[in-house]
Amino acid sequence: MTSVQATPDVDHLKQEALALAIKPTKSFHAFARALWAAHSNDPTFLHEVERVAGIKRRALFYLLNVGGFLAEYSITEEQAERIGWTKLQIVARHAANQPARISQRAMQTKLGIATRTPAHALPAALERQDTPSEGSFRSVLLRLPAEQYADVEAALIACGAERKGRGLIGKEDALVRLAVSHRATTR
């Protein structure tokens, strides 16, 4: 049973969300927050927005999640516009998958990463940032002709790497095993 006072607020939230839905890209920050607030009070409201605005339901759910994320972490419109809703959706999903709520300070760090990182690389960058460093790492870049690469790839697979798509997974550990076994035979 809804109270008489709560109804105008819900109606106002719905009207605001529908008004913003007409041009959602104009201010996705305001639209996402209004959509989230209205949906929190009436979950069936997405059907109406979908009909009025012509926005696909999947995009509405992304915006809905972003709206809740924007509200939870008090992200400003300026910051949201600078990052973009696609990257915010990635950060929101990352935050939702954490076992505990992320602190405001840690979230600002993650948003900084989102600002500097392309969307396709953002999930990996966020995971790397969460993984505690086990010491300093070194990188190895190999530029090999195709025929030499085939030999290196075969050796890495023999040492435990696995083919995935066009690359290898576990290649770092396999390379270390290959180096250790080579050193053992040359001593």
- The domains of the chain are located at 6-130, 146-186
On the question of pLDDT at 109 being above 90, the answer is yes
Q: pTM here?
A: 0.58
**Mean predicted confidence (pLDDT) in 159-164:** 92
pLDDT score recorded for residue 7: 45
- The string of pLDDT tens digits covering residues 71-95 is 999 999 899 989 988 899 999 999 9
Indicate the range of 24-33, 54-63, 70-79 predicted with least confidence: 24-33
Q: What angle do CA 124, 55, 16 make, to 5 degrees?
A: 105
pLDDT score recorded for residue 1: 40
pLDDT score recorded for residue 121: 93
As a whole number of angstroms, the distance between CA 126 and CA 103 comes to 15
